[in-house]
Amino acid sequence: MECETTSANTEALGSPVQFIERSSDQALIDHQVRLELKSAYPVIRATTTKQLLECLVSIKSEGHTSAKNEFLRYNNVDLICVIDVSGSMSGAKIDLVRKSLNYVLAKLNSKDRLAIIKFATKATVLCEFTSASESAKLSCIINNLQAEDSTNIKAGLELAYNMVRDNLKSSNLQCVLLLSDGRDMEGFTPEGVVVQLENYFGTSRPPFTIHSLGYGSDHDPKIMKKAAKLQGGKFRFVEKDQDLDIVVAKLLGGLFSTIAKRITVRIGINPSFPLQGGRIIKVYGDSVIADPSGDYIIPIVQYRAGSTNSYAIELEVPSYDPLNDKI
């Protein structure tokens, strides 16, 4: 016997998936960030066979605008600059790195702090966290950077992670800024970036971001992109002086406008949805974690004003039995 199909508006039925939990280190998220869930279909048609549906999860914050080259501030920052001074950075590259760092320094305020690490064959801390108000001292260190020896990105990041771990009680927003051409000479790989982070912090990493700036037309972005992606940051290429007002300014604007740290959003099946027995097949997006319970967890290290993060959900809706199921 052929069974009839039935349909219902998704608004009437309610959503088949729901936000189970959201949390953040900062209470401001409750006022500034909203969660949206939209189905790709205005109507769900119940059928006698299982079907796959698509939904879109969006995490949005209130948008804000500011005048050109002015930064809206929600926080102060502790910025750890990890600088490649290997031989491949000689000439125009190291000169542009110095200009980049001086640009950053000029945009910081007295409550921001800067730490500087250089690396070639070995890594060295040139200065611990120092108030940006001590600009003469910091600028002197920056302007004296010279290219030398081989490239050991792992050694530079190792010292940066030590600083992060020792600085967890700071109220400032923490960020590691890697400046390099990415041409590692010590066998460090993108997979090695993952292992190094896990060795230092395990599965519960502190809410710090890694951003990376690449220099030179011959740069290799793979390691820098991997490090940034793992910690919610971005990789950007700096080609010339004119890029500073675009590339570096955008990076700083994102840091200053961060409104929440360590956001966790958990998504699961809605128990009140009429057709029970459905499951989430997969959630597509960066850093999404599949929980053994069947839920999916979306962690965001730092979240800035005016942002939208979207995630596609593939959902299996169970078959409909017209004799026993009620809609």
Q: Which residue has the higher pLDDT, 240 or 327?
A: 240
pLDDT confidence band for 261 (50 / 70 / 90): confident
CB 53 within 8 Å of CB 16 = yes
Q: What is the total count of domains within the chain?
A: 2
Asked whether residue 85 falls in the same domain as residue 202, the answer is: yes
Give the per-residue pLDDT at 177: 97
Asked whether residue 97 falls in the same domain as residue 234, the answer is: yes
Boundary residue ending a domain (256, 275, 309): 256
CATH code of the domain in which 305 resides: 2.60.40
What values do phi and psi take at 227, rounded to 5?
-60, -45
Boundary residue ending a domain (256, 274, 304): 256
Computed on alpha carbons and rounded to an integer, the radius of gyration of the chain in Å comes to 24
Say whether pLDDT at 116 is over 80.
yes
Asked whether residue 135 falls in the same domain as residue 113, the answer is: yes
Asked whether residue 56 falls in the same domain as residue 92, the answer is: no
Question: Mean pLDDT for the chain?
Answer: 82
Give the per-residue pLDDT at 132: 97
Domain of 119, in residue numbers: 77-256
Q: Which residue has the higher pLDDT, 43 or 79?
A: 79
pTM (2 d.p.): 0.74
Give the closest residue to 247 by CA, choosing from 114, 109, 103, 110: 103
Looking at residues 216-238, what average pLDDT do you find?
Answer: 93
Asked whether residue 17 falls in the same domain as residue 82, the answer is: no
Q: Which residue has the higher pLDDT, 212 or 293?
A: 212
Say whether pLDDT at 21 is over 90.
no
